[in-house]
A and B are shown apart, each in its own frame.
Chain A
Amino acid sequence: QSVLTQPPSVSGAPGQRVTISCTGSSSNIGAGYDVHWYQQLPGTAPKLLIYGNSNRPSGVPDRFSGSKSGTSASLAITGLQAEDEADYYCQSYDSSLFYVFGTGTKVTVL
């Protein structure tokens, strides 16, 4: 059972903005550890989307942005596109469990 909680699903129409929350605790996000985000398209390996809470690796569109506050983090997708339909996972370090992933969120483009 993951210690980082995400909503099971979010949806939006093309062009809209959606956000995905990632709620942790004082032993992970709240302790100041970085949060990273991944996108996983069906049948493929995850892709690093955001690292260090709010930074994008080269090649990731600026439609994707990340933030962190307290014991939570968020991923925002603006200008939602059909190709954004995927599963999204947050990830952090936990002082007891080492590396932990979020429960995952399925994004549906209506």
Chain B
Amino acid sequence: QVQLVESGGGLVKPGGSLRLSCAASGFTFSDYYMSWIRQAPGKGLEWVSYISSSGSTIYYADSVKGRFTISRDNAKNSLYLQMNSLRAEDTAVYYCAREYCSSTSCYPNAFDIWGQGTMVTVSS
């Protein structure tokens, strides 16, 4: 069964740090680009960060650049998001998501597999 399972969320004080993990199963993780996407309570979706299949290419949203670091361990089928200098506005459900590949093409910014999400709350 193709699956993504996030973990590592929780309550943290402003300025604190948190590391999210995303465990992949049921597919060849090393073949796929991955992203983190977040959703603040009652708000819309916001793309956070992207990493290529090898990890050599990385992009961040301006809102998290310099504070968040995405990484992956293909040997462990895992994706990570290190979040530093957290702010109240980072409070959200964080999803990891896999790029969609049809039988003929891949669409790096279309996401067909999502995790269940992990809640991050930044509050004093």
Q: Which residues of A are at the interface with B, using a C-beta cutoff of 8 A?
A: 2, 34, 36, 38, 40, 45-48, 51-52, 55, 57, 89, 91-93, 97-104
Chain B interface mostly? strand
Q: Is the CB of A2 within 8 A of B110?
A: no
Q: Is the CB of B45 within 8 A of A57?
A: no
Q: How close is B47's CB to chain A, nearest CB, in angstroms?
A: 4
Considering the complex, give the chain A residue whose CB is closest to the CB of B114: A45
B85 at the interface (CB under 8 A from A): no
Beyond the given pairs A51-B100, A99-B47, 5 more chain A to chain B contacts, judged by CB atoms under 8 angstroms and listed by A's residue number, are A34-B107, A46-B111, A55-B102, A89-B45, A98-B61
Q: Which residues of B are at the interface with A, using a C-beta cutoff of 8 A?
A: 35, 37, 44-47, 50, 59, 61-62, 95, 100, 102, 105, 107, 109-112, 114-117
Give how many A-B residue pairs fall within 8 Å (CB-CB): 65
Chain B residues positioned under 8 Å from A52 (CB to CB)? 105, 107, 110
Q: How close is A94's CB to chain B, nearest CB, in angstroms?
A: 10
Q: Is the CB of A104 within 8 A of B117?
A: no
